[in-house]
Homo-oligomer: A and B are copies of this chain.
Amino acid sequence: MADVAARAGVSRALVSIVMRGVPGASPENRERVLRAAAELDYHPDQRARLLGSGRSRTLGVVHGLHEPFHGDLLESLYSAVAGTPWRLALEPRGRIRAEAVAVRALLDQRVEALLLLGPTAPAADLARLAARVPVVVLARSLRAGRADEVGVVRTDDEAAARTAVEHLLALGHRRIVHAHGGRAPGAAERRAGYRRAVTAAGLVPELVHGPDHEVVDDLVAALPDAVLAFNDEAAAGLLHTLRARGVAVPGDVSVVGFDDSSVAALPTVSLTTVGQDADRLARLAVEQAEGRVEGVEAVQREVVVPPRLVVRGSTRAR
C-alpha cells in the first residue's frame, strides 16, 4: 500500500479511500492511484481490511460436503450476496469434520452471522449458538418455541406434497400411493400434505415406507395409478426397478420425486419432481441474516418458501 502511495505521489490514506471506492478523492488522483495499483499488481489484504474496519462483513456458511442440494444453495447464496457488501466464508462438515468444528472455525474468523445448511445439531445447541451470534437455518425446519432466536428459511414441504398430488389428480390419476421417508427431515410434513390433498379429493391415502423389494412386489402386484416417492433417489430407484420388471413409466404408472436433484434431470431418468427454489431460499436467508445483524426488530422467525413443480417425463395423463 505504501508503495502504491509513493508511486502515485499521495498518502496511504488516500490510497485507502480510492481502493474502497468511497468519495473523497479528486478524479485525477483516483485515476493515478488506480494506475499505480494496477502497475504494481496491488490488491488490498482482505484480512487487514476487515481487521481495520471494526467489522468483518462476512456471513459464515456451514454446508454438508456430500449433499448435492447444498451445492445449489451455495451457488444461489453467492449470487444473493453479489452486489451487497457481504462476503461468504465456507466451512464444510462431513464424515470426519463435525459441524461444531466448522462453526468454531467461522467464529474464529469473526463472521457476523451464521448460515447453517441442513444443520445436524439439536435445536438446543442451535439456540445456545444463536445467543452468541445471529443464526439462520436453511433447509431444515425447527419446532417453534424450541429456538426462537434462530431464524429459519425453508421450503414448504407440506405444500410440496400437496402440489405433487394435485398435479397427479389433474392428470386424472385416482389411486396415488406415497412411499414416505420415515423420520427423515421433512418427511412428516410431506406425509401430512399428501394425506390432506388426497383426502380433500375424496380419496384414500395409501402409505408405504420407502421402496424396498417387498414394497415394489406389492406395487407391481396391484399397480396404482401413480407413486409419490419421498425424494428423487427413491423415485429414480423405483423407476428403474419398475421398468426392469416390465412396468412402463409413465405408461402404466406415473412417478413423482422430491428435490429436483441432478438425478431427476438426467435424460435416462427424466423425473417429474417438486423442487426447492434455491435462489429464493438463498436470497431470503441473506436478507434475514442481514436483518438480524443490523438488529432490525421486524425480522420474522421463520420464512416458508413455496415449492416449484418441475414436470418431466415420468408422469402422464391416464
> How far is B110's CA from A48's CA once the two chains are assembled, in angstroms?
10
Chain A 231-251 interface mask (CB, 8 Å, partner B; 1/0): 001000100110110000000
Contact of A90 among B68, B79, B90 (CB under 8 A): B90
Contact of A96 among B43, B71, B75, B240 (CB under 8 A): B75
Answer yes or no: A299 CB below 8 A from chain B CBs: no
If A108-B45, A240-B243, A243-B240 touch, does A74 touch B65 (CB 8 Å cutoff)?
A: yes
> How far is B72's CA from A45's CA once the two chains are assembled, in angstroms?
31
Chain B nearest Cβ from A2, distance in angstroms: 16
Contact present for A92 and B74 (CB under 8 Å): yes
If A51-B48, A237-B268 touch, does A94 touch B108 (CB 8 Å cutoff)?
A: no
Q: Give chain A's interface secondary structure class.
A: helix
A150-200 residues with Cβ-Cβ distance < 8 A to B are: none
Answer yes or no: A84 CB below 8 A from chain B CBs: no
Q: How many copies does the complex hold?
A: 2
Contact of A91 among B68, B90, B95 (CB under 8 A): B90
Q: How large is the interface on A (under 10, 10 to 19, 20 to 34, 35 or more residues)?
A: 35 or more
Task: Tell me which residues across on chain B come within 8 A of A120, comparing CB atoms.
Answer: none
Answer yes or no: A300 CB below 8 A from chain B CBs: no
> How far is B87's CA from A297's CA once the two chains are assembled, in angstroms?
37
If A90-B90, A240-B240 touch, does A108 touch B46 (CB 8 Å cutoff)?
A: yes
Task: Tell me which residues across on chain B come within 8 A of A104, comparing CB atoms.
Answer: 43
Contact present for B78 and A97 (CB under 8 Å): yes
Contact present for B43 and A51 (CB under 8 Å): no
Chain B nearest Cβ from A290, distance in angstroms: 20
**In the complex, residue of chain B having the shortest beta-carbon distance to the beta carbon of A44:** B108
Answer yes or no: A215 CB below 8 A from chain B CBs: no
Chain B nearest Cβ from A132, distance in angstroms: 8
If A51-B47, A108-B43, A237-B266 touch, does A94 touch B75 (CB 8 Å cutoff)?
A: yes
The 8 lowest CB-CB distance pairs between A and B, nearest first, are: A65-B71, A47-B47, A46-B108, A90-B90, A237-B268, A75-B94, A243-B244, A66-B71
